[in-house]
Chains A and B, each alone.
Chain A
């Protein structure tokens, strides 16, 4: 139930975001920078996630796919 209550806030938050001042194309300079990407360094991210995946019970969340691993 906690999760459901938490999820209920999500659409409210994003709908609220739509009410913000519209961003013009010339305002997207910062967003276009490499460091503003959700995953700026995919190879480094892959390596880190591979380590966590092999040492922890929880995994995933950021995207789908990837690859399997026996991870002894």
Chain B
């Protein structure tokens, strides 16, 4: 017995090893990811009520080039058109914004938020490389480039992911930098200078600056740089629960002003528009600080119910423009069958105003920085959505989603000046997004 026991064990182990190797071999043959291309495409149709429309096709190609090593390329194109607030406050009288040459002009009706028509297009390409560095360490690298008529961006990022605690915990550290270039159509304008000679054409937010010694308009571009650091931890809590926590620190430097946004100048007591010496009302180009420091805390949990899956996230954001924001996002994946599911989605977003945000400037009291961009106002957004998805076979799936967002703010703030108290200074934004997506492997 003592002699035959080890031999039997050896034979059993040999059989077991061969069996496992044959299973592994078959497994590798079936899931030969190295031969698969993953193609993800999506088309976004985005529409704001009485404002901007966007059509955005996206194509993403992912390939496993060696075991655990992936390369991903993403191509994006945006075609935008419609109208957007130019920053001027509504008034009890109609307001005219015209070019000095008279080639184009538009009128904002009395008591209406002035909107300017525009068209633009954006093309973007990004490449990702996800590489295993050791059994527990991964490197993820990204390079991206985008170009619009008046804006270009070139950025890169690198992240290290370290699996510890028997791969139940992943520690992440990442850095990113983006070098953007703002080249306003019609030339750069001088911040907080009068815009009485500005042109806003319908073919673009086009500005033609009359050389009046104040407005600038000599063309050129300005740099805008963005730097980000991120540390994070992802924890498998149970067989059904995954949790992530990230902290990120970011800094923007350079030209952070929106070159197309303007502000109304009003009488400090009556709130009525001030007349420009050149005729019409007086408006100033906006000006934002040339640095912005951002801190973000992001928490996400994914929980698997018996069939369905819940995604929950919360983000707390604050920056030195005194904007504080909270975002709650909930997605519920309702499994309707083996290959079909529905995803209801709800998102709540709120932010406080930037400390230089104002609806208008009182005459003779021009601040150091000022912007009437409503995206810097105190606001709240609610988004509800629903996505249907169907797995056609092991290699092909498609989905169709609809999202409705309503962004609301204080239309009658207590600090509005004089007659501006009677105007609706914040007009709710309602958007509808339809996204169709198809994923294929071949």
Contact = CB atoms under 8 A, between A and B. Distances in A.
Given A35-B309, A61-B296, A56 B435 contact: no
User: Of residues B144, B236, B431, which shows the largest number of chain A Cβ atoms within 10 Å of its Cβ?
Assistant: B236
A8 interface: no
Contacts of A65: 142, 144, 155-157, 159, 174, 176, 228
B58 A47 contact: yes
Contact of B236 (A3, A23, A42, A58): A23
A37 B236 CA distance: 11
A12 interface: no
Contacts of A1: none
A43 B58 contact: yes
Contact of B233 (A14, A50, A63, A67): A14
Interface in A1-41: 3, 6-7, 10, 14, 17-18, 20, 22-23, 27-31, 33, 35-38, 40-41
A6 B435 CA distance: 37
B166 A61 contact: no
Contact of B437 (A41, A61, A64): A41
B300 A38 contact: yes
A23 B297 contact: no
Interface centre among A22, A47, A68 (most CB of B within 10 A): A68
B56 A47 contact: yes
A57 B144 contact: no
A28 to B, nearest CB: 7
A55 B300 CA distance: 22
B302 A43 contact: no
Interface string B277-306: 000000000000000001111101010100
Contacts of B387: 44
A50 B144 CA distance: 14
Given A42-B60, A72-B205, A64 B248 contact: yes
A58 B323 contact: yes
B349 A35 contact: no
B: interface residue count bin: 35 or more
B297 A67 contact: no
Contacts of B228: 60, 64-65
Contact of B298 (A7, A44, A48, A61): A61
B382 to A, nearest CB: 12
A43 B8 CA distance: 55
B226 interface: yes
B46 A51 contact: yes
Interface in B333-359: 333, 341, 349, 351, 354
A47 B300 contact: no
Select the residue from A18, A57, A58 with max chain B CB neighbours within 10 A: A57
B435 A44 contact: yes
Nearest to B148: A70
B60 A23 contact: no
Given A30-B239, A59-B317, 4 more contacts: A17-B235, A42-B40, A47-B58, A62-B298
Nearest 9 pairs of A and B residues by beta carbon: A68-B153, A65-B157, A70-B151, A61-B298, A58-B325, A58-B317, A64-B176, A64-B174, A67-B144
Interface of B: 40-42, 44, 46, 56, 58, 60, 74, 76, 80, 84, 118, 120, 122, 124, 126, 142, 144-146, 148, 150-157, 159, 165-166, 168-169, 174-176, 178, 180, 182, 205, 226, 228-230, 233-240, 242-248, 250, 258, 260, 294-298, 300, 302, 304, 309, 311, 313, 315-319, 321, 323, 325, 327, 333, 341, 349, 351, 354, 375-376, 379, 381, 387, 399, 401, 403, 405, 407, 429, 431, 433, 435, 437
7 contacts: A17-B243, A57-B325, A61-B297, A65-B156, A66-B176, A67-B126, A67-B145
Interface of A: 3, 6-7, 10, 14, 17-18, 20, 22-23, 27-31, 33, 35-38, 40-44, 46-48, 50-52, 55-70, 72
